[in-house]
Amino acid sequence: MCQPGRVSDNAFTPPVCVLGLGLIGGSLLRAAVRAGRRAWGHNRSAQSVNAARADGFDVDTDLVAVLQRASAESALIVIAVPLPAVAETLTAIARHAPNCSITDVVSVKAEVAAAVARQGLGDRYVGGHPMAGTSASGWSVGSADLFHDAVWVVGTDDDADPDIWTQVAQLALDCGSVVVPAESAEHDRAVARISHLPHLLAETLAVAGASGGPLALGLAAGSFRDGTRVAASAPSLVRAMCEGNRDALLAALDEALMLLQDARTQLSQQSSTATLVDAGHAARTTYENQETWEISGIVPGQAGWIDSMRDAGRRGGRLRRL
Amino acid sequence: MCQPGRVSDNAFTPPVCVLGLGLIGGSLLRAAVRAGRRAWGHNRSAQSVNAARADGFDVDTDLVAVLQRASAESALIVIAVPLPAVAETLTAIARHAPNCSITDVVSVKAEVAAAVARQGLGDRYVGGHPMAGTSASGWSVGSADLFHDAVWVVGTDDDADPDIWTQVAQLALDCGSVVVPAESAEHDRAVARISHLPHLLAETLAVAGASGGPLALGLAAGSFRDGTRVAASAPSLVRAMCEGNRDALLAALDEALMLLQDARTQLSQQSSTATLVDAGHAARTTYENQETWEISGIVPGQAGWIDSMRDAGRRGGRLRRL
């Protein structure tokens, strides 16, 4: 059985149980094993499990058995299924491994946290979100290198357990990432801007380009290719993350619509695109020149650590070691 | 003096005079020389000219002298200055080299064709547009490889002179590109969709991302990086091409606005993004799977060649040899 709160040599490096072996979960399992962590996984698809086994990994299609083992070995459970499958995964965890530490790698945080709370598992959970991925999906496209130098958000909500927080942060570091602490709602607002809005704009550009027929698509070069790249992502995954972050995405989308509408007015009335183009160039320059700095001196569990972590994350801080 | 219509061994491979030595013009000069063409160039900036000379190229800051030489050697003149500088360049050509063949590499075609017509040079002109570029600019970033396997639109308007058309197409082929024939207005509508709209969407995404502050920008990964890449382009160049293609860009922008507004409505009312995401994925798939085919058997100058070329371009045809 899990023994929450027990301090031992491996208090912050428990074994890892990965539920879902797609691009992210499959890469995480590979990265954890390469980092020397004991780790095993589950996928409901026999095909994926067979492929992962052929690659030498300890995986199974039997969710109950996988969770019972997690419970027996006090594993950190990583939920790596698509958002629509999170609720039933949590139901199984609540039944078979309720005392394990739990994290996830889903691209929205508030909705996952709410689902966790509905199962009464809130005190065992600290969310996560590695900012890595490609437009491909499935076990076969995973890589232990996927998280190398990536940013991994670790949820830093009011009730975060410092030991579980540390377990989750350590897993991110073991996978080669740097940790950015952020509260769930703040995370969701941020990723609406830099991950979900980009998808909707890419889909829009793809449609507008294809409407031009073979001539337009035949002339498409770098700007169209790059601008539509993520439209190649599986629609189910794009929909899951966009729809799972509905309110924050609506706000970001409204901002984009206003910028474009204003640009349309200026182009139409003054034959100018100056306002948007100058602002966009300045913003891209800010992005390229952004400076990050290393968070240090904040100890999970000490008074005020949650506020301090959040504040550091907001100001571009990243944790590189614990 | 130029001798239009004279047929000789080099009727379609005259020397090349490049006006403007930025990324495109500078790359074109390099590519033409590498292909064995005699070529020289002009830039008003002494700094660029000195850099090009240091790289071994035959260039000068004296526009009149450069054009007089073009006239004496029956060169094909390539206008490679930004759109706002095209008119005064044409004035100089009309004065000093009015009988030379003329093309350009500007990213819009109807407005350049109109400026050419205002100078009475319409019968000497066939426009061009190599679909290549980066967000960098200037002589130093140019490369003889820039046009390798790129698509190079050759303007195929009603009054196109078949010999000049062939000269321009041969230059594109010599630079390593494939030729897509297209009428100016059709070209402009196509590039509004696949080049100018992408720039406005990239600028918009950059602004929306930066509005999220260091947390949002710090979480930005591939989708934001790729989606904003061309926002790093010099604002003057982005403005020149967007504003030079105002009407076609307004139409493309309206289409994008409608797609996004409809997506907003569906997300807001039904918590779904299905319509846009499915359409975008299908469009990107069409783009990735587009098939091109080689144009052959259409001889410039033969009856109906202009209509045949345009039709072939519309259907995805590309010319790989003359």
Residue A274 lies in a domain: yes
Nearest Cα of chain A lies from the Cα of B312 at a distance, in angstroms, of 9
Residues A181 and A268 in one domain: no
Interface touch A267/B182, C-beta < 8 Å: no
Instruction: Kindly state whether residue B1 falls inside one of the protein's structural domains.
Output: no
Structure letter (DSSP) for residue B16: E
A2 within domain boundaries: no
Q: Which of A182, A202, A170 is nearest to A129 (CA)?
A: A182
Report the half-sphere exposure of A262 (CA within 13 A, side-chain side): 13
Compute the nearest-CA separation of B293 from chain A (Å).
11
Least confident of A236-240, B114-118, B282-286: A236-240
**In-domain check, residue B2:** no
Q: Check CB contact under 8 Å for A182 and B215.
A: yes
* A34 and A93 co-located in one domain: yes
Q: Is the pLDDT of residue A309 over 90?
A: yes
Q: Are A161 and A197 within one domain?
A: no
Q: How far apart are CA A287 and CA A198, in angstroms?
A: 15
Using CA atoms, how far apart are residues A308 and A304, in angstroms rounded to an integer? 6
Q: How confident is the model at residue A137 (pLDDT cuts 50, 70, 90)?
A: confident
* pLDDT-derived band at B10, boundaries 50, 70, 90: low
Residue B188, φ and ψ in degrees, nearest 5 = -65, -40
State what percent of residues in chain A have pLDDT above 70.
96
Closest alpha carbon within chain A to B253: A264
pLDDT tier, A5 (very low <50, low <70, confident <90, very high otherwise): very low
Contact A272, B239 (CB under 8 A): yes
Domain holding A204: CATH number?
A: 1.10.3660.10
Residue A67 · residue A51 · CB < 8 Å: no
How would DSSP label each residue in A234-250? -HHHHHHHHHTTHHHHH
For the segment A231-242, what is each residue's pLDDT rounded down to a tens digit? 999 999 899 889
ipTM of the complex: 0.89
At residue B5, the pLDDT reads: 38
For residues A203 and A139, state if they share a domain: no
pLDDT value at residue B221: 87
Helix residue ranges, H only, B127-234: 162-174, 184-191, 197-210, 213-219, 222-228
Residue contact B193–A182, C-beta within 8 A: no
pLDDT band for position B128 (cuts 50, 70, 90): very high
User: Phi then psi for B129, rounded to 5 degrees?
Assistant: -155, 100
- Closest alpha carbon within chain A to B313: A215
CB-CB: which of B215, B234, B314 is closest to A214?
Answer: B314
Do A190 and A183 contact (CB within 8 A), yes or no? Answer: no
pLDDT above 50 for B168? yes
Measured between its terminal Cα atoms, the distance across chain B in Å is 26
Q: Tokens 């076969």 identify what position?
A: A140
Please report the pLDDT score of residue B9 as a whole number: 42
In a domain, A179, yes or no: yes
Same domain, A162 and A244: no
Q: Which residue has the higher pLDDT, A241 or A65?
A: A65
CB atoms within 10 A of CB B178: 21
Confidence of residue B87 (pLDDT cuts 50, 70, 90): very high
- In chain B, which residues have their Cβ closer than 8 Å to the Cβ of A249? 267
Verify that B125 and B89 share a domain, yes or no. Answer: yes
Mean pLDDT of A189-217: 97
B264 contact residues in A (CB cutoff 8 A): 250, 253-254, 257
Residue owning tokens 């260091």: B214
Q: Which residues of B touch A231 (CB under 8 A)?
A: 280-281, 283-284
Looking at the fold, whether A103 and A153 belong to one and the same domain comes out as yes
Kindly state the average pLDDT of the residues B94-104. 98
**d(C-alpha B306, C-alpha B155), whole Å:** 10
Identify from B207, B258, B295 which residue to disrupt to test chain A contact, counting A C-beta atoms within 10 A and taking the largest count: B207
Same domain, B285 and B300: no
8 A C-beta contact, residue B273 and residue A241: no
Q: Give pLDDT, residue A166.
A: 97
What is the average pLDDT across B110-130? 96
DSSP result, A137-202: -SGGG--TTTTTT-EEEEE--TT--HHHHHHHHHHHHHTT-EEEEE-HHHHHHHHIIIIIHHHHHH
Q: For the segment B177-213, what is each residue's pLDDT rounded down to a tens digit?
A: 999 999 999 999 999 999 999 999 999 999 999 999 9
Q: How far apart are CA B311 and CA B131, in angstroms?
A: 20
* CB contact (8 A) between residue B215 and residue A274: no
Residue B5 neighbours by CB distance under 10 Å: 9
Residue A9 has pLDDT above 60, yes or no: no
Instruction: Supply the range of the domain harboring residue A234.
Output: 188-289
pLDDT for B137 equals 81
**Chains A–B, number of C-beta pairs less than 8 Å apart:** 373
Q: Is the pLDDT of residue B70 over 60?
A: yes
DSSP-assigned letters across all residues of A2-51: --TT---TTTTS--EEEE--SHHHHHHHHHHHHTT--EEEE-S-HHHHHH
pLDDT beyond 60 at B4: no
How far, in Å, are B28, B42, B58, B174 from residue B55 at the CA level? 14, 14, 9, 21
B195, two tokens: 């080049």
Domain CATH for A60: 3.40.50.720
Contact flag B232-A285 (C-beta cutoff 8 Å): yes
Residues B70 and B28 in one domain: yes
Among the residues of A211-273, which ranges form H helices?
A: 213-219, 222-228, 235-243, 246-270
What's the pLDDT score for residue B134? Answer: 67
pLDDT tens digits for B292-305?
999 999 999 999 99
Among A279, A252, A277, A272, smallest CA distance to A198 is for A252
Query: What percent of chain A has a predicted confidence (pLDDT) above 90?
Result: 90
Are B281 and A182 a contacting pair at CB < 8 A?
Answer: no
On whether residue A153 sits in a domain, the answer given is: yes
Question: Residues B161, B165, B170, CA angle at the centre, nearest 5°?
Answer: 155
Mean pLDDT of B70-80: 98
Quote the pTM value.
0.86
Non-local CB neighbours of A277 within 8 Å, separated by 6+ positions: B199, B200, B203, B235, B238, B239, B242
Backbone angles phi, psi at B128, to 5 degrees: -145, 160
| pLDDT mean across residues, chain B | 94
Q: How far apart are CA B99 and CA A134, in angstroms?
A: 54
CA distance B184 to chain A (A): 12
Residue among A202, A211, A235 minimizing CB distance to B255: A211
State the average pLDDT over residues A80-106: 96
Helices (H), strands (E): how many in chain B? 14, 10
Residues B271 and B296 occupy one common structural domain: no
| pLDDT range class, residue B3, cuts 50, 70, 90 | very low
> What's the rounded Cα separation, in Å, for the pair A266 and A269?
5
Do B204 and A232 count as a contact with CB atoms less than 8 A apart? Answer: no
Domain count for chain B: 2
pLDDT tens digit string along A250-308? Answer: 999 999 999 999 999 999 999 999 999 999 999 999 999 999 999 999 999 999 999 99
State the Cα–Cα distance between residues B52 and A151, nearest whole angstrom: 42
Shared domain for B257 and B212, answered yes or no, is yes
Average pLDDT over every residue of A49-57:
98
Write the DSSP assignment of B43-76 as a string of letters: -S-HHHHHHHHHTT--EES-HHHHHHHHHHTTPE
Give the pLDDT confidence of A148-183 residue by residue, as tens digits.
999 999 999 998 999 999 999 999 999 999 999 999
Q: Are A263 and A180 contained in the same domain?
A: no
Residues in chain A with CB shorter than 8 Å from the CB of B201 are 201, 204-205, 227, 260
Let me know if residue B9 belongs to a domain. Answer: no
